[in-house]
Chain A
Amino acid sequence: SAVISQKPSRDICQRGTSLTIQCQVDSQVTMMFWYRQQPGQSLTLIATANQGSEATYESGFVIDKFPISRPNLTFSTLTVSNMSPEDSSIYLCSAMGQGSDEQYFGPGTRLTVT
Chain B
Amino acid sequence: AQKVTQAQTEISVVEKEDVTLDCVYETRDTTYYLFWYKQPPSGELVFLIRRNSFDEQNEISGRYSWNFQKSTSSFNFTITASQVVDSAVYFCALSEERSSNTGKLIFGQGTTLQVKP
Contact = CB atoms under 8 A, between A and B. Distances in A.
Contacts, number: 51
Interface residues of B, number: 20
Contacts of A56: 102
Contact of B44 (A41, A45, A103, A108): A108
Interface residues of A, number: 24
Given A101-B50, A101-B100, A90 B43 contact: yes
Contacts of B37: 105
B102 A102 contact: no
Residue in B100, B104, B108, B109 whose Cβ sees the most chain A Cβ within 10 Å? B104
A44 B108 CA distance: 10
A14 to B, nearest CB: 23
A106 B47 CA distance: 11
A88 interface: no
Nearest to A44: B107
State the majority secondary structure of interface residues on A. strand
Interface in B96-116: 100, 102-105, 107-110
Contacts of B100: 101
A56 B35 CA distance: 23
Interface in B76-111: 91, 100, 102-105, 107-110
A60 to B, nearest CB: 14
B33 interface: yes
B61 interface: no
A31 B101 CA distance: 9
Interface of A: 1, 31, 33, 41-45, 48, 56, 58, 90, 92, 94, 96, 101-108, 110
